[in-house]
Amino acid sequence: MATLDSKIPKGPLKDKWTTYKDKINLVNPANKRNIDIIVVGTGLAGGSASATLAELGYNVKAFAYQDSPRRAHSIAAQGGINAAKNYQGDGDSFYRLFYDTVKGGDYRSREANVYRLAEVSANIIDQCVAQGVPFARDYGGLLDNRSFGGVLVSRTFYAKGQTGQQLLLGAYSAMNRQIARGKIEMFNRHEMLDVVKIDGKARGIIARNLITGEIERHSAHAVVIASGGYGNVYFLSTNAMGSNATAAWKIHKKGAFFANPCYTQIHPTCIPRSGDYQSKLTLMSESLRNDGRIWVPKKMEDVMAIREGRKKPTDLSEEERDYYLERRYPAFGNLVPRDVASRAAKERCDAGYGVNATGEAVYLDFKSAIERYGREQAKLHHISNPTEKEVYDLGKGIVEAKYGNLFQMYEKIVDENPYETPMMIYPATHYTMGGVWVDYNLMTTVDGLYCIGEANFSDHGANRLGASALMQGLADGYFVLPYTIGDYLANDIRTGKIPTDTKEFDEVEKEVKDRLDFFINNKGEHSVDYYHKKLGKIMWDKVGMARNAKGLTEAMAEIKALREDFWKNVKVTGALNEMNPELEKAGRVADFLELGELFAKDALMREESCGGHFREESVESDGLQEGEAKRNDKDYAFVAAWEYKGEPADAVLHKEELEFNDIELKQRSYK
């Protein structure tokens, strides 16, 4: 078994990143002009990396499968971005953000990486303000922030509308300046289909022009993958339908280890599924949990009455409601981390207390918040003995200012007014903490091949705290990769342009074309979506919020059989050399059909519960933590990095043991 070298610097935790930067190799400005870098993906991680590397003087080729970088999936993030600024003076610090992140991830992340993330988080806010990102401000003009699940401080900065979109516009504007200077060559509507290695180093990619169907060769001295996560392996998720794992999976098959695929986050505040024909679930910001209280009816007769339309949720008194998160987790209440909140909702719905027609929904209620804010505003406006209507109107105004866009979206989708009737929410597949294994430098197990943002196996561990995805994407792109990649590229200043007319490019291009030819010429019976939906159902039923050995073993066999049928019977309409969305999907679903099996294999191997990975066989049986996830630190305190060996079932496990020197490993508690 190969030993994974994480390349974590020696010395005290708080000094590691500073000491590292002091000692790395640098590339002088004149030499940067002679070095090319490919960046695949232009979301927050890829967009910030492309802009920063170009600003430094490197020649950047950036690839986006959408028609513009500003359409990257990062825009869907609504809630905010974390940073240890301590603006509220409520006790936040780099250490507190570091500790909350490690604890939130159930102690399955690297101390050094997380501390670095906490350190640079404060810089992100300054960077984005300088770019003109319109963060919310309080009455004094200072940046406002709020609290998210799993923490006891306010550190989440947010912008009106969707914070992700506003942050992406900041990165996009920086990119545009470099595009105008000619330092970024932008390839919109292009998809990377494979990586090219020369003498063991990543030296280029094969890409398809999604408009013309043309296959292109692109070379560089280093390749950066920033293509997001693999949540769409479930088919129905909060991700846009185009979000896929192809770039990450292709580099895995070329030697990059894939780590912790079983660590998937289920988001607790999504609008419930409405039927069998949906292709996407709508995400509602976790920020709603700051003021919304989550409940189900206490009595089964009330549940049935609500389902049958004989009662409305507003008919139930406080005594008839089970605020189950406040009951189970008094210290954190509605602000427990996402994995805990999601499982608690599933438990109530599995017990029969779900409040919609399918039994898969709980209430998120703002009545208490509207009343609280209303009475506070009445005092501020010197209104003594306000009427109920005055209290409601004043409180509604505050809630509308904070969450109005989300309430509007909910009403358009569900056709209910959430100011007057509680929202219905249910957990859904969201972020993936697994991904391509990288060392402290963000380099994969292939020299010169980097992976950043959600595409790598993430600093978060087995679960991600809300508002930390944007933080990692921008930290990697703005403040980490530009240093670490320079250290590697210092050895390439005399290499010269990498030619594309070599046998290595020939071979990979042939592999890509053969696969595309197969899809077009295979006269099967079923559409690509047919297979994707079947895969998604297997994943959700047997590799979803709760897993067991029997279900995981069945899932592996079922996914393998489905994959074999796919290669025999898939039908792809349209032609090769034209815009063909079905052909694009075919390649992506083929990759998901392999990744899904490795996902189940990883979950079967990890005989413990931690974070987003919940094994039914591993649960606290008694005491204060009864029913909660039971970790096994003795046997499983490691990163599981899988080496590709052909069939997913044959993947070889490499362990990176996790060392905890600054944090004591202990049972996570939010009670």
Q: Are 449 and 225 in contact (CB under 8 A)?
A: yes
Tokens for 277, please give them.
């024909």
Handedness of CA 366, 367, 371, 372 (dihedral sign): negative
Task: Determine the pLDDT at residue 421.
Answer: 96
Beta carbons of 78 and 146 less than 8 angstroms apart: no
What's the confidence (pLDDT) of residue 278? Answer: 83
**pLDDT confidence band for 3 (50 / 70 / 90):** low
Can you tell me whether residue 665 is helix, strand or coil? Answer: coil
Query: What is the pLDDT at residue 124?
Result: 96
| Residue 1 pLDDT | 41
Task: Tell me the per-residue pLDDT of 75-92, one tens digit each, with 9 for 90 and over.
Answer: 888 889 999 999 989 999
SS3 for 552-572, per residue? Answer: HHHHHHHHHHHHHHHHHHEEC
| Closest among 489, 632, 656, 600 to 262, alpha carbons compared | 600
User: What pLDDT is attached to residue 625?
Assistant: 87
Q: Note the pLDDT tens digit of each residue in 565-588.
A: 999 999 999 999 999 999 999 999
Residue 161 has pLDDT above 80, yes or no: no
Parallel, antiparallel or unpaired: strands 36-40 and 59-63? parallel
Of how many residues is the chain composed? 671
User: With 90 as the cut, is the pLDDT of residue 558 above it?
Assistant: yes
| H-assigned helices in 203-262 | 246-253
Mean pLDDT, the chain, as a whole number?
95
Is residue 35 pLDDT above 90, yes or no?
A: yes
Tokens describing residue 113: 């990486």
Are the beta carbons of 279 and 463 closer than 8 angstroms? no
How many C-beta neighbours within 10 Å does residue 330 have? Answer: 10
Q: Which two tokens stand for residue 638?
A: 């490691």
The answer to whether 439 and 6 have CB atoms below 8 angstroms apart is yes
pLDDT of residue 390: 97
Phi-psi category of residue 203: left, alpha or beta, with phi > 0 → left and psi -120 to 50 → alpha: alpha
CA separation for the pair 449, 201 (Å, rounded): 7
Q: What are the catalytic residues? A: 338
How many whole angstroms separate alpha carbon 339 and alpha carbon 612? 6
DSSP state of 61: E
DSSP category for residue 454: G
pTM: 0.97
269 φψ region: left (φ > 0), alpha (ψ -120 to 50), beta (else): beta
